[in-house]
């Protein structure tokens, strides 16, 4: 891998596992086995690396969601499968939760560069449900239920609320 790819690869793992503030540039440089000058050649700051990480995480997350629901064509069943995707991700990532929301709690409120990427990710997720449900009110309800499942499952290290939400979804859309 090229130095930029190694840096992003390490940031992808470390920001997601440790958090943004707990991960230092020196740790990333050391674990990516790149020179400090090489880091700054590709990223002007930790904030720029964070934006690149979030963009990469966005692409990864939506690709995983798409692959997980690929064989489900019916929009209503795809929504059900999307909640199953949360269980899959919790098992895969040990209930680490949403990288975007985790990072939101770590950045200053005036960091619009990072905030814009987080907002864009959440808008894309909201639109994902709007494209499957052609009723904006119900789509927003499903989106909010999905988001709360992410937070609650991380908080309690449990998929129980996701399973309950799948039952609720049936009453809303099926």
Q: Show pLDDT as tens, one digit a residue, over the chain (174 residues).
A: 899 999 999 999 999 889 999 999 999 999 999 999 999 999 999 999 999 999 999 999 999 999 999 999 999 999 999 999 999 999 999 999 999 999 999 999 999 999 999 999 999 999 999 999 999 999 999 999 999 999 999 999 999 999 999 999 999 886
3-state secondary structure the chain: CCHHHHHHHHHHHHHHHHCCCCCCHHHHHHHHCCCHHHHHHHCCCHHHHHHHHHHHHHHHHHHHHHHHCCCCCCHHHHHHHHHHHHHHHHHHHCCCCCHHHHHHCCCCCCCHHHHHHHHHHHHHHHHHHHHHCCCHHHHHHHHHHHHHHHHHHHHHCCCHHHHHHHHHHHHHHC
Q: Based on the structure, what is the number of domains in the chain?
A: 2
Q: Are residues 135 and 163 in the same domain?
A: yes
CATH of the domain at 22: 1.10.10.60
Same domain? 52 vs 103: yes
What pTM value is reported for the model? 0.93
Both 106 and 22 in one domain: the answer is no
**36 and 71 belong to one structural domain:** no
């Amino acid at each position: 891998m090229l130095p930029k790819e190694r840096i992003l690869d390490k940031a992808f793992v470390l920001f997601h596992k440790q958090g943004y503030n707990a991960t230092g540039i020196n740790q990333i440089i050391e674990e990516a086995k790149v020179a400090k000058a090489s880091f700054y050649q590709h990223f002007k700051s930790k904030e720029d690396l964070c934006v690149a990480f979030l963009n990469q995480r966005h692409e990864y997350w939506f690709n995983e969601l798409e692959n997980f629901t690929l064989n489900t064509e019916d929009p209503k069943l795809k929504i059900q499968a999307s909640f199953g995707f949360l269980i899959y991700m919790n098992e895969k990532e040990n209930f680490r939760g949403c990288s975007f929301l985790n990072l939101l709690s770590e950045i200053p409120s005036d960091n619009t560069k990072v905030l814009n990427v987080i907002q864009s990710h959440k808008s894309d997720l909201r639109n994902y449900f709007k494209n499957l449900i052609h009723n904006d009110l119900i789509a927003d309800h499903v989106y909010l239920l999905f988001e709360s499942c992410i937070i609650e499952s991380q908080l309690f290290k449990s998929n129980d609320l996701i399973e309950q939400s799948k039952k609720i979804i049936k009453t809303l859309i099926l």
